[in-house]
């Protein structure tokens, strides 16, 4: 049974190394094998380039397993960061928008 990954409030260079382990665990145990693996982004208050890169790496790992990462309920901070880097495809699209 796939579980959504709850993204923490801070995803920055200062915690990136600490996030990697739990995220790899999540990949192994809880990401399931459906086409979309979900992460919940509502708690994210702070994210920087290094943090976003971690998320991109996570998405890449999922892609390697023929899965795609979908971030649900992205906070404004997270949405802004993804848009800035051209990674909006990871975000749950608002109703009516094309993917």
If binding is defined by CB under 8 A, does position 3 make contact with other proteins?
Answer: no
- In the chain, what's the furthest Cα-to-Cα distance? 37
Output DSSP code: residue 66: T
Q: Angle of helix 49-64 relative to helix 13-29, nearest 10 degrees? A: 20
Q: Are 73 and 93 in contact (CB under 8 A)?
A: no
Polymer length in residues for the chain: 99
Least Å distance between CB 68 and other proteins? 11
Binders of other proteins among residues 19 to 58 (CB under 8 A) are 19-20, 23-24, 27, 47-50, 52-54, 56-58
- The interface region with other proteins, picked from 1-9, 34-42, 79-87 by CB under 8 A, is 79-87
Interacting residues with other proteins (CB under 8 A): 13, 16-17, 19-20, 23-24, 27, 47-50, 52-54, 56-61, 64, 76, 80-81, 83-89, 98
């Amino acid at each position: 049974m796939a579980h959504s990954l709850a993204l923490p409030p801070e995803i920055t260079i200062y915690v990136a190394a600490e996030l990697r382990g739990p995220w790899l665990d999540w990949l192994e145990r809880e990401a399931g094998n459906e086409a979309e693996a979900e992460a919940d982004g509502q708690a994210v208050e702070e994210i920087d380039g290094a943090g976003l890169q971690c998320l991109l790496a996570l998405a890449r790992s999922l892609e390697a397993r023929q899965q795609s990462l979908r971030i649900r309920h992205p906070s404004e901070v997270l949405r802004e960061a993804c848009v800035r880097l051209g990674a909006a495809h990871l975000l749950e699209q608002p109703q009516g928008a094309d993917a």
